[in-house]
Chain A
């Protein structure tokens, strides 16, 4: 029997048990784990966002990294290309993203808080606009194409009837009464059967996650299971 009582394994096992202990009731160990989890993850995400987004997407592309840390291995950005070579580099457009970011920080100044509404409007507007076409293509056109099938088998009939009745359920302009109500009811049944199947499938995948943690405690940490 081999024990895995290393510091990191022991810490990981205590934190695992601490989080799982929530199933019993709220307790001091869970509170400690929760505070650690939230604090560490918030700090981690801050650093991660800086290194994965702000640094490579803004500072590097504009050339601010080279200005702040003028090392030989730091590549030139759009500002260096513009001022040294007199050439327009398309990466200079990232300056607008930087300006929007600064505008967002204006919330810190009560008198200028209104400025932050502009970048918000930009984000919400562009998001809606971009997804309008992509969602339409993936969720409407592609689904439509897959549903238009010959009604020559039980399987195909179920697909077409299920889709039509499901769509009727999501039709909001008429009260669900009479034939429409009946079709909507059938649509609800189709939805519930789908959700039931999905529920079972997901529960099984969650069980495998739990088994993974139990295996860690009993096999890796305690060495009781081979």
Chain B
């Protein structure tokens, strides 16, 4: 509901009272989950720069137009909008906005009734919806093609090519492989990508009979990683070589986890260390320790602040998107492959939009960026 009303006639300025705000409009906040009404008004004529006596506005609310108005909020001088987030959906409200200047007050007539409600759809995000629909269709189409047996090309990713080599080296040296799936939980997509790649690494260690050690910092990651490693050993025909202690919990604490892994690395000197997942400040502590014992290190993360450390201290680093592409590249599984190709289609679209959009913006044809505003 959108309600507006003309305000009361201001008091005579000779009395020292301010003029009230005008053209108060009250309406339900659009595209929200309810419980909010937005008020908009034109400022008082006394609300001008340099008028230090003008304090601001008080907003009053009542369920009756005649009585029961209570102050629910204030707005500073120069403000023209306020959102009342304390409304009950379906209940009718009346609002008054009054000007405060010194000790004087001037208020407009009550405006209303207006009630808040929730909307099923946020129409301010329709652009996202359309874009996601196109992207999802592309992904599904490519998955369909991959399942049909079409050859879908994926370029070589240097860090991934090195996975086999790193596992082989550990096997030759008769030393363990450490796999660190980051410090975040299973609600982080990077951790999900990390444990997916773990499946491939575990399959190789099962085939080569190389010791695998996966220290984790979250209980859910431990459970998931155990499932994945177990399945990889089963698929490799070596279920007998698997035991639960391969994947073990250390601590949830970020630096406690880093301290424990550092100790393990310097004592056991693994031949290869994988860091795949979400990392924070512990990234350099881990990678530098691994580097000091001469281990081959392959890292992958989408944390921009930690990538420089991995690049500096590791032999290969999967940068951002490469981490997510890794699982598709390694497994060649139709679902993952199709998903990666679909995302590439999305990137191609974004590239085109940036180039065309920048040209449009340069010549000032129209505001192209408004198409991508998400509310």
Contact = CB atoms under 8 A, between A and B. Distances in A.
- Asked if chains A and B come from one complex, the reply is yes
Interface of A: 19, 22, 25-26, 30-31, 33-34, 37-42, 44-45, 49, 104, 107, 116-117, 120, 123-124, 127-128, 131-133, 135-137, 140-142, 144-145, 147-152, 160, 163-164, 167-168, 170-176, 191-192, 194-196, 198-199, 202, 206
Given A41-B252, A127-B186, A172-B325, A107 B223 contact: yes
A95 B222 CA distance: 24
A45 B350 CA distance: 43
A150 B225 CA distance: 48
Contacts of A104: 220, 223
A170 B321 contact: yes
Interface in B201-251: 220, 223-224, 227, 249-251
Interface of B: 125, 127-128, 131-132, 135, 152-155, 157, 186-189, 192, 220, 223-224, 227, 249-253, 255-257, 259-260, 262-263, 266-267, 281, 284, 304-305, 307-309, 311-312, 319-322, 325, 329, 340-341, 344, 346-348, 350-351, 353-355, 357-362, 364, 368-369, 372-374
Contact of B259 (A37, A45, A120): A37
Closest A-B pairs by Cβ, 3 of them: A41-B253, A148-B357, A41-B256
Contacts of B364: 150
Given A141-B372, A170-B320, A42 B355 contact: no
B223 A141 contact: no
A167 B351 contact: yes
11 contacts: A120-B227, A124-B192, A127-B188, A140-B350, A141-B374, A142-B374, A148-B357, A172-B344, A195-B308, A199-B312, A202-B305
B340 A172 contact: yes
Contacts of B311: 192, 195
Given A128-B189, A148-B361, A164 B223 contact: no
B252 A42 contact: yes
Contact of A37 (B154, B255, B305, B325): B255
A120 B223 contact: yes
A49 B157 CA distance: 39
A172 B155 contact: yes
Contacts of B374: 137, 141-142
B256 A173 contact: no
Contact of A42 (B256, B266, B284): B256
Contacts of A151: 358-359, 361-362
A191 B347 contact: no
B134 to A, nearest CB: 11
A195 B307 contact: yes
Nearest to A135: B189
B322 A170 contact: yes
Given A37-B253, A128-B189, A198 B223 contact: no
B255 to A, nearest CB: 7
Contact of A150 (B260, B304, B319, B358): B358
Nearest to B253: A41
A136 B139 CA distance: 15
A25 B305 CA distance: 28
